[in-house]
Structure 1
């Protein structure tokens, strides 16, 4: 169960962003709510509560931060120009760990995911968003999403979302995600609540692991 919850957390963090056109630097705030039809799973999800994700962006660099009692503190820093990323985890169970990656774009992952244009639109925070239906096969599970995507904010490339390429056509401001693990069904609703244009310090995007963090093994 904890493995599935961690997968969900890391996947929601994978959709890092950088704004284009008028906004090139700033902060985006995203809220996420989790639910399940399984009572035991719902009890664990309730411990997470409403999860708030903060994304700092500047050009082709981004820093995503999230903290909750189950996953601890997770930070993902991505530079889509150098094709590098750094993941930092501060978890009560494993301590302070880091993982550095070179982002590799898969040659063909079309059998593992599918994107289909929807027919609906939503206006979110003043952005007109188009509906997208996304299906992903991951570790024997199938993840289904309904997204509302704006082309005014483009995703920063990460190892987790590299398979999508430009198929989303922008960044989702609203996502409903559902997946099944055994008899348990999970639903996650993610919604951007604020987009701010402001200066962000270059130090936020450093790919050098901080002192006190050791390398993650086996991930």
Structure 2
């Protein structure tokens, strides 16, 4: 069960953003809600409540912050120019941990996923979005996503979404994700609620782990 919750949080963080064509710096707010038909799973998901993710972006750098009582505070900082990322976790069980990674773009397209463009469109926050579907098979998990993607906001490369390459063609402003593991189904709805143009301090994109954080072993 804990694996399902953590995988759900990590997938939520896997789509970070740079900037709209007319906005090179600012903040994007994303809301996520979780549901399951399994009563025990739903009870634990209810403890997470509605999760709010905040993404700070500046050029090709981004900082994604999310917090909830079960996973603690998670921050993912990505620099697409240097192809590096830093993950910071302040977890109630593990304490303060960090993980640094070099982002590697795959040489060959993965056979474990397929992006299909649909015919439906939606206008979200003034952006015209195209429907796209994505199916992933990973570690015994079956994940299906239905997304509404705008080409006015481009995805920043991260370790989690590197395998998708340019297949999405932009950033999803609305996503319905259904994940099944061990017969338990979890549905996550992610929706961008605000895009703001404002100055962001360079210190938010530092790839140096803060004091008090130790390296995450085995990662």
TM range (shorter): over 0.9
Alpha-carbon distance in 2 for matches of 1:177, 1:43: 19
Cα RMSD for the two superposed structures? 0.7
The structural deviation recorded for 1:107 is 1.9
Q: Structure 1: which 5+ residue stretches go unaligned?
A: none
Correspondence list, 1:1-219, <5 A: 1-219=1-219
Partner SS state of residue 199, structure 1: coil
1:73-131 CA-partner distances (Å, limit 9, x unpaired): 00000000000000000001000000000000122243111000011000000000000
Partner SS state of residue 115, structure 1: strand
Q: What is the number of equivalent residue pairs in this alignment?
A: 219
Alpha-carbon distance in 1 for matches of 2:131, 2:27: 24
Alpha-carbon distance in 2 for matches of 1:33, 1:180: 16
Runs of 4+ displaced beyond 3 Å: none
Alpha-carbon distance in 2 for matches of 1:102, 1:141: 25
1:120-146 CA-partner distances (Å, limit 9, x unpaired): 000000000000000111111110000
Q: Structure 2: which 5+ residue stretches go unaligned?
A: none
Alpha-carbon distance in 1 for matches of 2:187, 2:109: 24
Alpha-carbon distance in 1 for matches of 2:113, 2:153: 22
The structural deviation recorded for 1:3 is 1.3
Alpha-carbon distance in 2 for matches of 1:188, 1:31: 10
TM-score with structure 1 length normalisation?
0.99
Partner SS state of residue 10, structure 1: helix
